[in-house]
Chain A
Amino acid sequence: MRYTIYGLVVLLIIIHQDNWLWDDKRLIWGFMPITLLYQAGISVGAAIVWFLATKFAWPHHLEEVTQEPPAQAQETGDKE
């Protein structure tokens, strides 16, 4: 699943270039430039991909770190 997530990120990067809208000045809903709407869609797409990353590709093993007290906090405590 991790590789699928990375694949989706690469896909976002590719479709971000949107050459096909370069000279398109259409206004969607009467006010929204199509190229701006498309790029805002990329932002929403990014949020969805990152949501999937937290569900299926999260480095859970790193959460175990907090079971030990932070290193330098201990040192500071000793110093005090």
Chain B
Amino acid sequence: MIQLVIIGIYLSLLLFLGVFSSRLFKGTSKDYMLASHSIGPFLLLMSIFGTTMTAFALVGSSGEAYKEGVGVYGMLASSSGIIHSLCFFLLGIKLWSWGYKYGYTTQIQFFRDRLESDRIGIILFPILVGLVIPYLLIGVMSSGVVISSITEGAFESSFAAYDYGVPPWLGSLVISLVVLIYVFFGGMRGTAWANTFQTIVFMVLGVVTFVVISNKLGGLDAASHAVLEKNPSKLMRAVDPADRERYAERYQTWTLIAKYNYARRILKTLKLSDEQTAEAYKEFKPRFPNWQTTAEAVYAAKNELYKLTNEQVNKALLTQDDRVMPDPFPEKWKQGLMAHHDLREYPRRDNAEDEKAQLIFAENIGHPEHDLDPNDPSKGKKWSIKKALGVYRASSWAPDAPHPMSKLVFFTYFFVPLSVGMFPHLFQHWLTARSAATFKLPVVAHPLFIMIVWVPCVLVGVWATSAMFNGAPLFPPHFPANAVLAAMVKKMTSPVLAGFLTAGILAAIMSSLDSQFLCIGTMFTEDIVVHYGGKDRFTDKQVVFMARMFIIVIVAITYGFSLLEPRRVFTLGVWCFSGFSSLFPIIFAAVYWKRLTKAGVYAGVIVAAGSWLYLFREAQFALNPDYTFLGMMPVATMVVASATAMTLVSLVTPPPSKETLVRFFPED
């Protein structure tokens, strides 16, 4: 409950900041959307950094490091330090100067002028809004997950289905409303101030989290040495032989369990007698909950108590791992045995673990503050549903196979940060700058700020793989990556500190959401309503009103999606960024290539959107986190395809008029 109060106070502070900044609001749409070009270097740095660092940076990076190891930093953070600043330097300053001179508020206004094409907005608007929605989704989803994890057990009798904490749908809703309110009142100025405040909050609290967690794990050295001993592959990008051996052993045991369960539950050809069970338990040293099945499986296999055909073994593996059983069953799996990677080609059944865990552990599940056995407190507390799910996954599903990071994938990740060049919300932030010199501080400090936020997050995520807490592993196998940071904060800190640290995580999330909310409202009014309705048709008040209404509609749609969305934050983020990156060649050429034509841009945009849709579908709409195309990140193909189409078509179509070229390239 203490955590909930602290989060409540923090959200109230934000609302106050939004209302306060509205007192400086000049009442014009220009002031609402661009803060009248009044933002100085420090505010610009903090607002740009706060906007680019989202749930993806905190929740996603620690979760992905937990899954993939320290290579995650090089894959995305250090490359972003180079590429983001390159985009600010090469694109931001030029676009700011044209925005200042010619009065642009959105990217589409710039493209219309630069390409002499009124219709470019019709194709770009839905694409940009369509890509901002998954970006918003990441923030909305993560905020719900974080609040839910941290408030587990906060209520005595309400929300039993959510472990007596705030349900994710409610957490997401509250965060969306708070951000909506301060964006409504404060506009761009409020957003820049709130971003600055929140960036300071999440950077400071991020460092505090890091120090507290490392102390709880016995210090920096102890935390890292535990990884070196138990999961050495997480400290590099190749697979350590020790991890490979441990995995082989675990997978072997798991196949025994799968076969035993299949013979016992499906074929019903095996039932151990009481004596056999007693014998099995006697020989087994329990190490984790639900160990009995493992003991029985090992005993049954050792004593050859059952025999299965190849087809039955393969069905046993699929059943044990909750995979969809192919129908008809493939001929090849009637002859040969599946390996783990073959098994992974069949998707897991939706909600299988939820139903089974709640059934198997029904007696253990309850309020996490209540005793499991009221007559014997030494048996511990009731299990949360999350814990039951965790125990089910750990004891039922196949162990994760250690895998190296592909060099080609690592290299082609470099294309992902190019997305910054095309983020509509970042374009709008660039335009708020007071002068070109305002960009100097963000260009230099951005890579350092990324390092300050990402290095601790990646280390914490890696430590989580091997950490012990109160004598047991901190996380069981298959623990959901998105919940790693919040769970560590909850388990390893006091309620007061957990409340503050949660506020820090929410700060990072909200500092991106606000800019995105504002930018979609701006795009709608400027690029659609004012552009097609006529400049003098609406008063400034009406424009601001319409921007606010459109924001509500988009937030409602996004919120609706968040209720259905099960994908990993990191994977979804990468797809969203990849879409923006595939449009990067267009903005770059518009700024530096005089020969660029509107037909070339149409070709580039269509190829970018087409290739994105095709590859996104191939990757099962982000449900397959390991999807690559030609062994590379799909973004590489999209960027190259879009750049090629744009270049070829531009070269064979008439160049832009002399007036346009003089307007944008006067020095030549």
Contacts and interface: CB of A to CB of B under 8 A. Distances in A.
Contacts of B645: none
Contacts of A12: 82
A22 B74 contact: no
28 contacts: A13-B79, A16-B74, A16-B82, A21-B237, A23-B236, A23-B237, A23-B240, A31-B220, A33-B70, A35-B71, A35-B74, A36-B70, A36-B73, A36-B455, A43-B77, A43-B78, A43-B81, A44-B448, A46-B81, A47-B445, A54-B444, A62-B96, A62-B97, A63-B435, A66-B100, A66-B436, A70-B100, A76-B28
A70 to B, nearest CB: 5
Interface string B457-468: 011001000000
A75 to B, nearest CB: 6
B86 A40 contact: no
Interface residues on B, range: 35 or more
Interface in A14-33: 16-19, 21-25, 27, 30-33
Contacts of B501: none
A70 B100 CA distance: 5
B626 interface: no
Contacts of A73: 30, 36-37, 103
Most B CB within 10 A of own CB, among A25, A36, A53, A61: A36
Given A35-B70, A71-B103, A65 B407 contact: no
Q: Is the interface of B mostly helix, strand, loop or mixed?
A: helix
Interface stretch (B126-134, B224-232, B339-347, B473-481): B224-232
B442 to A, nearest CB: 9
Interface string B240-253: 10000000000000
A10 to B, nearest CB: 10
A43 B448 contact: yes
A27 B518 CA distance: 44
Nearest to A28: B224
A27 B443 CA distance: 31
B450 interface: yes
B437 to A, nearest CB: 6
Contacts of B667: 61
B236 A21 contact: yes
Given A23-B238, A39-B77, A53-B443, A72 B103 contact: yes
Contacts of B70: 33, 35-36
Interface in A32-64: 32-33, 35-36, 38-40, 42-44, 46-47, 50-51, 53-54, 58-59, 61-63
A18 B74 contact: yes
Given A47-B445, A73-B30, 13 more contacts: A13-B82, A22-B404, A27-B228, A30-B221, A36-B458, A39-B74, A42-B81, A47-B446, A59-B94, A62-B94, A72-B30, A72-B103, A76-B29
Contact of B444 (A30, A40, A47, A79): A47
Contact of B436 (A24, A30, A65, A68): A65
B94 to A, nearest CB: 7
Contacts of B96: 62
A17 B94 CA distance: 30
B282 interface: no
Contact of B100 (A22, A54, A65): A65
A76 B667 CA distance: 29
Interface residues of A, number: 48
Chain A facing B: main interface SS: helix
A65 B101 contact: yes
A25 B236 contact: yes
B407 A33 contact: no
B85 interface: yes
A59 B77 contact: no
Contact of A50 (B30, B105, B443): B443
Interface string B10-40: 0000000000000000001110000011000
A43 B37 CA distance: 30
A53 B89 contact: yes
B85 A46 contact: yes
Contacts of B74: 16, 18, 35-36, 38-39, 42
A32 B455 CA distance: 10
B235 A43 contact: no
B386 interface: no
A31 B440 contact: no
Q: B94, B221, B436 — which one has the most chain A CB atoms within 10 A of its CB?
A: B436
Contacts of B29: 76
Contact of B235 (A27, A44, A74): A27
Contacts of A50: 85, 89, 443-444, 446-447
A39 B78 contact: yes
A16 B79 contact: yes
Nearest to A68: B101
Contacts of A66: 100, 434-436
A4 to B, nearest CB: 14
B451 A58 contact: no
Contacts of B221: 27, 30-31
Contacts of B225: 27, 30-31
B411 interface: yes
Contact of A70 (B37, B436, B455): B37
A22 B237 contact: yes
A65 B433 CA distance: 12
Contacts of B78: 16, 39-40, 42-43, 46
B205 to A, nearest CB: 20
B622 to A, nearest CB: 26
Contacts of A74: 103
Contacts of B103: 70-75
